[in-house]
Structure 1
């Protein structure tokens, strides 16, 4: 084989390898996982502004959201939000005296303890029921009710309404940057 043919063959092999690598990266990012950057303070203290996370895009194609999952979804103003699922389809949701009630049962929210300890005036989460907020006793079929962990500074289902499950991009549990915040969040 001539030297020129060897070079052409090597270039072609490198080109194929790069095309395959880019193709795989595109498939993974489009259908399986994608990075997202936390924008704002609505999920503090759990997530901080600027945290970089991995979104699992396949989880809800084969399963359903669960209570307290952290999800990324398309919000009404053409932006993606990160919030926590509080209510599932058919759930009655209420807050009284800073306690979450799902279908009449009180639930602890340990991820809020840090902020609740700092509150000197009132509660972290104001009292409300779904019926008072949205005129519906339960979360509608095909939707979830989401809240940010920083309840006093979060634009969530209390303002934007129920989130269609079809608008959920995926769930997220893993912070990969900055180094000081690397880990699994709950």
Structure 2
């Protein structure tokens, strides 16, 4: 805060609008609360939290249309995010004395330079006229998106850029460096202690993006060793905390003990066919559950047979050479392409504790976006 003297040396407190916007850039509403607009701040905070939960809802629940609902969410997210910054700036500016605002606008604002540098390191330097340093930082920042571990470069470039642009600004109204030091510290510590742990918590407990390397789940899922040529999908890790896996669910699971003995380390993606306690039998190229033919026309290609000939493992005998009863807390799984899938026919059942989650939606490529 700054104090200026107008009308017989009366002290009037003013606040830096772009500093307030910087606070709201950390989390919507924080700047508004700092500037005294507590109600607005709470509204923005609640809006951000609701948007976050809505995004998780869109990802997890199959009835939500990922493309349509995702675009609506993105539009609202951008609108709330941008209006948050605009409101933080305008509401603070409106409450400032005219003399302070006139003086502030007469020169390049160091806090605007800081905000620009937080968006793209180097832009703030260009704004204050430090073109050489600015261009170098912009090039480094953009190149970081194209190289391995580029996020580490960005993590270091942002705090350096915002501190450097502030101390080199032509006009700084604060006599101390406490505010910019606080911004730099928050820029470093928040990702380490808040954002990264939150992301890890979500990916470990709620949902995670994965992709499939094999074609064993075609035509439902297209696989490829190149991630961007394969179907990328969301794995719902949350739903099975409240209900048991069901027949027809496509699941991701870690290798069973049998598969580990065959040196498999990558996760598997298969469809649940047999549930605990059920009798599973392969007969005449068809699957029978409790002596009843299982209809699978909705996910396997027409006239495709389910045989045991696909089992090629030399170290294990064929698991379902005769009818089996699925043991408790275990599942019998098959791939949708029965001609090439290496699945429960060959190596056995999947224990429930090996299941990572349920494949809920394909999100890439765009032409393949859909719920499963």
Scaled by the length of structure 2, the TM-score of the pair is: 0.44
Residue 222 of structure 2 corresponds to: 48
The Cα of 1:25 is off from its aligned counterpart by 0.8
SS at match of 1:64: coil
State the distance in 2 between where 1:159 and 1:137 align: 13
The one of 17, 23, 36 equivalent to 2:197 is: 23
- Structure 2 partner of 1:145: 332
RMSD of aligned C-alpha atoms? Answer: 2.3
Give the corresponding residue for 1:7. 180
2: CA distance, partners of 1:2 / 1:156 = 69
- Report the CA distance between 1:144 and its aligned residue: 0.4
Q: Could you tell me whether the CA contact under 8 Å between 1:56 and 1:170 is conserved in 2? A: yes
- Which stretches in structure 2 are left out of the alignment for 5+ residues? 1-173, 224-229, 310-317
The Cα offsets for residues 128-167 of structure 1, whole Å up to 9 and x where unpaired, read as 9xx9726663101121000000001000001111111111
1:124 corresponds to which residue? 305
1:111 aligns to what?
298
What is the TM-score with the length of structure 1 in the denominator? 0.85
In the TM superposition, residue 74 of structure 1 has moved relative to its aligned partner by 0.9
What is the SS of the residue equivalent to 1:149?
coil
Structure ranking higher on relative contact order (CA contacts 8 Å, 6+ apart): 1
- Output aligned runs, 1:170-185, within 5 Å: 170-185=357-372
Shift of residue 179 of structure 1? 1.1
C-alpha contact 2:319 2:345 (8 A) present in aligned 1: no
Pair 1:100 & 2:280 matched: no
Matches within 5 A, 1:161-176: 161-176=348-363
User: What's the CA shift for 1:51?
Assistant: 0.8
Deviations 1:62-103 (A, max 9, x none): 321111100001122222100000001101112334433211
Instruction: Establish whether residue 57 from structure 1 lines up as the match of residue 237 from structure 2.
Output: yes
User: How far, CA to CA, are the matches of 1:42 and 1:154 in structure 2?
Assistant: 5
Higher strand share: 1
**8 Å contact kept, 2:319–2:346:** no
How many residues in Structure 1 have an aligned counterpart in Structure 2? 177
